[in-house]
Amino acid sequence: MKAELLFDAQAALGEGPAWDAKSQTLYWVDILEKRIYAGSRVVAQLERFIGCLAPRRGGGLIAALSDGAGSSFFVDLQPDTARQSVLAAVHEPAANRFNDGKCDPAGRFLAGTMAMNESDPTGALYSFDGKRVVKLFGGATISNGLTWSPDYKTFYYIDTPTRKVQAFDYDLATGQVANPRAAIQIPASLGWADGMTSDAEGNLWIAMWGGAQVTRWNPQTGRLLEQIPVPALQTSSCAFGGKDMNELYVTSARKGMSASDLKKYPLSGGLFKVETKVAGLPAFEFAQTVPQAS
Ligand code: CA
């Protein structure tokens, strides 16, 4: 498998790829440049940091925004006009901003936060069902990749500095997590685990910050299965898309790179695509309100 450059975006912090099946569009963000892309097109230039987004079932997007001065929100966002309406405010320390997030299979939007100094463990993971914001847990330093097993009963989560992927029991009816345990230990030689997605076989695909690669893991055994080189040092996140959900879209960043690293990896900040032999889980949409458990 090979990573093919789709767009030489030169993004400062390309992140949050999300496939919109309705329009067959890959949305992604540049957190630091406060920008939303659809493929190679900038569809919105915002005034706040955008941590992540997801398509909404009824059209448009849900996004997690922070102004870097104490205000964080979930908003409804229309990508072509950048028109925003606040859905919920999230109470976070002033030094925090939203980071990675995505929808669960029931249509909730989960998004994590981090301290902008990348060292205080003041981050948290939130779940929003359209009515209520629930804090699933706190104590995260850099809340990052999240995904589910194919039966949706297990939730996988990365707090990057821990060098671990944690597994939780996931209750799809209530959106609650329980029973955290370490599923994968990430060796330092691979870089830092950042964004994550999962495939139909239940294996995890993890973008490696500082590692110039995407890695594929079996979370049952903790074993590394495959390494796909990406010509961008700060490989930041990945998401499946395409008609058959067998295209892995990979974002990257230029943040935190030395002049010599930038010379060695000039495509850093680009958007890449890998054709895979396995399909990913479906891309989940924000459902506005989650059906109540019976
Ligand atoms: Ca990230």
- CATH code of the domain in which 217 resides: 2.120.10.30
- pLDDT of 290 over the 70 cut: no
pLDDT of 81: 84
- Does residue 119 sit within a domain? yes
CA of residue 110 to ligand 1 center, whole Å? 14
For the chain, how many structural domains are there in total?
1
CA of residue 291 to ligand 1 center, whole Å? 30
Nearest CA-CA partner of 214 in 200, 233, 242, 201: 233
CA of residue 147 to ligand 1 center, whole Å? 13
- Does residue 188 sit within a domain? yes
Element (H, E) at 251: strand 247-253
Catalytically active residues are: 194
Confidence band (pLDDT; 50, 70, 90) for 289?
low
- pLDDT of 292 over the 80 cut: no
Element (H, E) at 154: strand 154-159
* Domain limits for position 43: 3-275
- Does residue 290 sit within a domain? no
Nearest CA-CA partner of 95 in 125, 72, 62, 63: 72
- Does residue 212 sit within a domain? yes
- Does residue 293 sit within a domain? no
- Does residue 291 sit within a domain? no
CA of residue 109 to ligand 1 center, whole Å? 16
Q: Which residues have CB less than 5 Å away from ligand 1 (the ion)?
A: 100, 144, 194-195
- Does residue 130 sit within a domain? yes
- Does residue 17 sit within a domain? yes
> Mean pLDDT score of the chain, rounded to an integer?
96
